[in-house]
Amino acid sequence: MENPIRNAVIEAFVNLLKKKSYEEISVAEIIRKAHVNKTTFYRYFRDKADLMDAYFQMIYDQALTDAKVDSLEDLFAILLQSARDNPEQCAMFQTSGYNSFRSFIYRYTYKMGKEIVEAGWGRPLDEIEDLHIAYFCAGGSQIIEE
């Protein structure tokens, strides 16, 4: 569901990214640009990295919607193409840890991959199938990062 306040914060962040690098942007600047207070920011995002995750999720969600992705192969093909076409976006992430590009891609592909497979099969995954999706997405995120 669309949330205009959350979207305003993301839009403010994106507008700042057009002028500054990720590292140069502070939460205080984002708050000022979005015309929200600190409490409102933290209601929607844990920190600036969480905001960046939300921004990239919007980008990739739109790319997947536009491409009508219905398989894991399509999912990774679209994400790989996006990473190739936009290397500057990948550079905003930290090089390792939870806020790395690889970690974001893993979290995103696991969530979306699980949804795609469950929709295709018409049922929830069992524990072993879920584990297979997790391993597949972990390997795929490594490939995309490289």
Residue 131's pLDDT is what?
Answer: 94
Higher local confidence (pLDDT), 17 or 43: 43
Closest CA to 90 of 145, 46, 16: 145
CA 86 to chain centroid = 14
pLDDT (0 to 100) of residue 25: 92
CA distance 70 to 82: 17
Specify whether the CB–CB gap between 67 and 78 falls below 8 A: yes
Q: Measure CA 65 to chain center.
A: 14
**pLDDT for the residue 29:** 97
CA–CA dist 45, 133 (Å, integer): 27
- φ and ψ at residue 94, rounded to 5 degrees: -70, 160
CB atoms inside a 10 Å sphere around CB 95: 10
What pLDDT score was predicted for residue 95? 66
The model's pLDDT over 103-138, given as tens digits with 9 standing for 90+, comes to 888 899 999 999 999 999 999 999 999 999 999 888
Helices 127-145 and 72-85, interaxial angle, to 10°? 20
Task: Give the mean model confidence (pLDDT) for residues 138-144.
Answer: 79
User: Is 36's pLDDT higher than 90?
Assistant: yes
Q: What does the pLDDT read at residue 5?
A: 95
Beta bridge partners of 94: 100
Residue 40 has a pLDDT of 96
Question: What's residue 145's pLDDT?
Answer: 67
pLDDT in tens, 54-96: 998 888 888 888 888 888 888 888 888 887 887 777 777 766 7
Q: In angstroms, how far is the first alpha carbon of the chain from the final one?
A: 34
